[in-house]
Amino acid sequence: EDAKTVQQLIQQERFVEFLFENRRYYDVRRWGIYEEVESEPIKGMNVEGTKEVFYIRVIPNTSRIGARIVNKRLNWLPIPLNEVRLLPSLDQNPGWGE
């Protein structure tokens, strides 16, 4: 398998293994795929389907879910302001001011 395939397998495994541990927030940023992932439609399970089709991923058709907006500043966390002030040559991450 090539490196890209292995990376995708690792990403999928981390998604499944750490589903309710809030690690994906940091994973997608570390891997540089935040904008790509956040631009995808939200998917869910077919809860109204029979047991044969329940696990088929579907895109909900509801007015409660609007278009997803990617906030590019969320690619990076802010550097603490006191650190930026201690080292004037240090630039704050994009979108976080100073």
Kindly report, residue by residue over 24-41, the tens digit of the pLDDT: 889 999 999 999 988 877
- Measured from the Cβ of residue 78, the count of other Cβ atoms closer than 10 Å reads 15
Which pLDDT belongs to residue 54? 62
Q: What is the pTM of this model?
A: 0.64
Please, is 31 exposed, middle or buried when counting C-beta atoms within 10 Å of its C-beta (0-12, 13-18, 19+)? middle
Which pLDDT belongs to residue 20? 84
Alpha-helical runs (H) found in 1-98:
3-17, 24-30, 34-39, 81-86
pLDDT per residue, tens digit, the chain (98 aa), is: 799 999 999 998 998 898 889 898 899 999 999 999 888 777 766 667 676 766 666 676 665 666 678 888 888 999 999 999 999 899 999 999 85
Q: List the one residue out of 96, 61, 55, 57 whose CA is nearest residue 75.
A: 96
Residue 90 is given by DSSP the state P
